[in-house]
């Protein structure tokens, strides 16, 4: 039954879709090199959508709409709100960079970014296998086009091809897994799938093996999207080959949608199989922490280093998901999943600041993507060096920055579960964080103690400087007073589990 509430639940999605189409048409009449009118209209649309989502999330009301296929709940609305803000910030940072590289001959950057965001919205709100998959495809197809947007650049085209081939493989894995779960449970709806597994209906049909095999494919597909080992092979190549503005588009907001799809599928749909999928996530987490941190040390290219850093950070995030259900007891779920949500949100915030500085230092004919390109940055611009240093310290997990509290909350969730296995994982994670601190601190050493190689003046618009300053300040302030964001995540997850 479709009622008025169903339309209310998808109002932000409808607005975003309508405005993306309107902006694509209006852009045909925009002739300025930096697409000023398109840019302003896009940011205004995203700001309105973010306000709508923030209001819906703070109301604390959960709506099940379109026959249960879509859900509008506080967790989903906050994640969509943060994703919208992340895309806005990405466009502010990336516009000058894209303009200097002939990527703004049309308004594709803005419209594709909006369609990618719409895909994230559908992924986050989907409560049905088909809806979640449609959202995922919309995001990935937009992302492939964005990576290839610099048409005359061989490296970007190569990265887009690799991303497309491996992304298609990942989608196939996920779709195959979902089809097997559907075959075992007889439903595409997450709530009904959970009931069928919990009530033993899938077992009575003799479908247990099919169900577990389907779960393996689902976890593999999700692991591809998160970019964790051993499904990480696309991450360094795409991060390195894509234009830096697009690298940020892929490495920022979609991580929030990836977290949401993991929670929707594994917690809301397949929670009775927690013992099975937690074991798989444990292997992925340990491998990602090990490979990501050790490989990052060997990198001289800044974007490749940040790619391996992302792999390690996603491994750390998975640790939070391991601590939810222990020996069939789900009492630690709210604590574990809210810690993971806090970790993902703060990681995206820090990533925005990191790539913001790289985009700012890049200029026409110069990418600023080698670690040595940051040499002596403090002598050229104490502000930008300061923002970069804050982000590096945060990623390394050094107090009092927000990254420290994110890591601490995940470790606390692991320790709260009380199992020897979880305590061992926490100790391993701390050791790997110490290894990771090396390559983050090396970057700070290069900025503050090496003589400058580049002497060109750093040019940036007032909008970019302002947003970057706020971004750096938030990483610091949320570290000093993390309580508000932590409470917001805890409340959203508690309502989801209720």
Q: Region 242-268: what's the mean pLDDT?
A: 91
Number of domains in the chain: 1
List Cα–Cα distances, 380 to 25, 32, 373, 449, in angstroms.
Answer: 42, 31, 12, 12
- For the chain, how long is the longest CA-to-CA vector? 72
Residue 155 banded pLDDT, cuts 50, 70, 90: confident
Task: Decide if 225 is inside a domain.
Answer: no
Q: What is the pLDDT of residues 367-388, one digit of tens each?
A: 778 888 888 888 888 888 999 9
pLDDT(458) > 80: no
- Let me know: does 52 contact 11? Beta carbons within 8 Å: yes
Q: What percent of the chain has pLDDT over 90?
A: 48
Residue 236 banded pLDDT, cuts 50, 70, 90: very high
Phi, psi dihedrals of residue 157, rounded to the nearest 5°: -65, -40
Q: Which residues make Cβ contacts (< 8 Å) with residue 351, sequence separation at least 6?
A: 248, 251, 252, 255, 306, 310
* 321-349 CB burial, b ≥16 within 10 A, e <16: bbbbbbeeeeebbbbbbbbbbbbbbbbbb
Task: Decide if 134 is inside a domain.
Answer: no
Q: What is the pLDDT of residues 339-350, one digit of tens each?
A: 999 999 999 999
Task: Decide if 423 is inside a domain.
Answer: yes
Expressed as residue numbers, the domain containing 407 is 275-498
Mapped onto helix, strand or coil, the DSSP state of residue 336 is helix
Q: Nearest Cα to 343, choosing from 395, 279, 297?
A: 395
Residue 21 banded pLDDT, cuts 50, 70, 90: very high
For residues 347 and 337, give the distance between their C-alpha atoms in angstroms, rounded to a whole number: 15
For residues 123 and 374, give the distance between their C-alpha atoms in angstroms, rounded to a whole number: 37
Task: Decide if 88 is inside a domain.
Answer: no
For residues 204 and 201, give the distance between their C-alpha atoms in angstroms, rounded to a whole number: 5
pLDDT(3) > 70: no
Q: What is the predicted pLDDT for the residue at 416?
A: 86
10-14, 31-35, 473-477, 478-482: least confidently modelled range: 31-35
List Cα–Cα distances, 81 to 42, 57, 124, 339, 437, in angstroms.
Answer: 15, 9, 11, 18, 31
The pTM (predicted TM-score) of the whole model is 0.93
Task: Decide if 161 is inside a domain.
Answer: no
For residues 323 and 274, give the distance between their C-alpha atoms in angstroms, rounded to a whole number: 10
Task: Decide if 254 is inside a domain.
Answer: no
Task: Decide if 310 is inside a domain.
Answer: yes
- Let me know: does 99 contact 34? Beta carbons within 8 Å: yes
Q: Does the N-terminal peptide bond of residue 400 adopt cis geometry, omega within 30 degrees of 0?
A: yes
For residues 139 and 495, give the distance between their C-alpha atoms in angstroms, rounded to a whole number: 27
pLDDT(197) > 60: yes
Q: What is the predicted pLDDT for the residue at 142?
A: 93
Write the DSSP assignment of 141-163 as a string of letters.
HHHHHHHT-STT-HHHHHHHHHH
Q: What is the predicted pLDDT for the residue at 365?
A: 65
Supply the mean pLDDT for the chain. 88
Task: Decide if 164 is inside a domain.
Answer: no
What is the Cα Rg of the chain in Å? 22
Q: What is the pLDDT of residues 259-298, one digit of tens each?
A: 999 999 999 888 888 888 888 999 999 999 999 999 999 9
Residue 1 banded pLDDT, cuts 50, 70, 90: very low
Residue 462 banded pLDDT, cuts 50, 70, 90: confident
Q: Region 418-430: what's the mean pLDDT?
A: 87
Mapped onto helix, strand or coil, the DSSP state of residue 252 is coil
pLDDT(395) > 90: yes
pLDDT(32) > 70: yes
């Amino acid at each position: 039954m479709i009622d008025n509430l169903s339309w209310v639940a998808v109002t932000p999605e409808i607005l975003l879709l309508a405005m993306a189409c309107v902006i694509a048409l209006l852009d045909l009449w925009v002739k300025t090199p930096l697409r000023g009118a398109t840019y302003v209209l896009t940011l205004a649309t995203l700001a309105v959508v973010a306000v709508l989502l923030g209001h819906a999330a703070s109301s604390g009301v959960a709506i099940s709409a379109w026959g249960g296929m879509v859900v509008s709940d506080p967790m989903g609305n906050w994640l969509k709100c943060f994703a919208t803000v992340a895309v806005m910030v990405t466009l502010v940072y990336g516009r000058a960079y894209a303009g200097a590289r002939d990527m703004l001959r049309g308004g594709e950057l803005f419209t594709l970014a909006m369609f990618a965001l719409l895909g994230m919205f559908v992924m986050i709100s989907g409560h049905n296998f088909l809806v979640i998959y449609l959202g995922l495809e919309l995001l990935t197809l937009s992302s492939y086009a964005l990576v290839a947007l610099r048409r005359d650049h061989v490296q970007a085209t190569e990265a887009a091809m690799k991303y497309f081939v491996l992304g298609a493989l990942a989608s196939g894995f996920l779709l195959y897994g979902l089809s097997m779960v559907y075959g075992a449970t007889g439903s595409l709806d997450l709530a009904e799938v959970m009931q069928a597994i919990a009530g033993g209906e899938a077992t009575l049909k003799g479908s247990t093996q099919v169900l577990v095999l389907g779960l393996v494919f689902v976890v593999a597909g999700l692991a591809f999207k998160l970019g964790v080992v051993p499904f990480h092979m696309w991450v360094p190549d795409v991060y390195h080959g894509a234009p830096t503005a697009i690298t940020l588009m892929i490495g920022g907001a979609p991580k929030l949608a990836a977290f949401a799809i993991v929670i929707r599928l594994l917690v809301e749909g397949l929670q009775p199989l927690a013992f099975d999928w937690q074991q798989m996530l444990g292997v992925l987490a340990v491998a990602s922490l090990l490979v990501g941190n050790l490989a990052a040390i060997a990198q001289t290219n800044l974007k490749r280093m940040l790619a391996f850093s992302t792999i390690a950070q996603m491994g750390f995030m998975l640790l939070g998901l391991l601590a939810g259900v222990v020996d069939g007891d789900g009492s630690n779920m709210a604590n574990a999943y809210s810690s993971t949500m806090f970790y993902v949100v703060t990681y995206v915030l820090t990533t925005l600041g990191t790539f913001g500085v790289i985009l700012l230092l890049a200029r026409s004919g110069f990418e600023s993507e080698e670690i040595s390109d940051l040499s002596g940055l403090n002598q050229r611009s104490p502000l930008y060096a300061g923002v970069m240093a804050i982000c590096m310290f945060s990623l390394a997990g050094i107090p009092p920055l927000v990254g420290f509290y994110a890591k601490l909350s995940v470790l606390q969730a692991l320790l709260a579960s009380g199992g020897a296995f979880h305590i061992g994982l926490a100790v391993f994670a701390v050791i790997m964080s110490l290894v990771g601190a090396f390559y983050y601190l090396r970057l700070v050493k290069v900025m503050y103690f090496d003589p400058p190689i580049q002497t060109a003046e750093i040019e940036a618009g007032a909008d970019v400087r302002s947003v970057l300053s706020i971004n750096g300040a938030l990483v610091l302030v949320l570290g000093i007073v993390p309580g508000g964001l932590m409470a917001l995540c805890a409340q959203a997850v508690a309502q989801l589990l209720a």
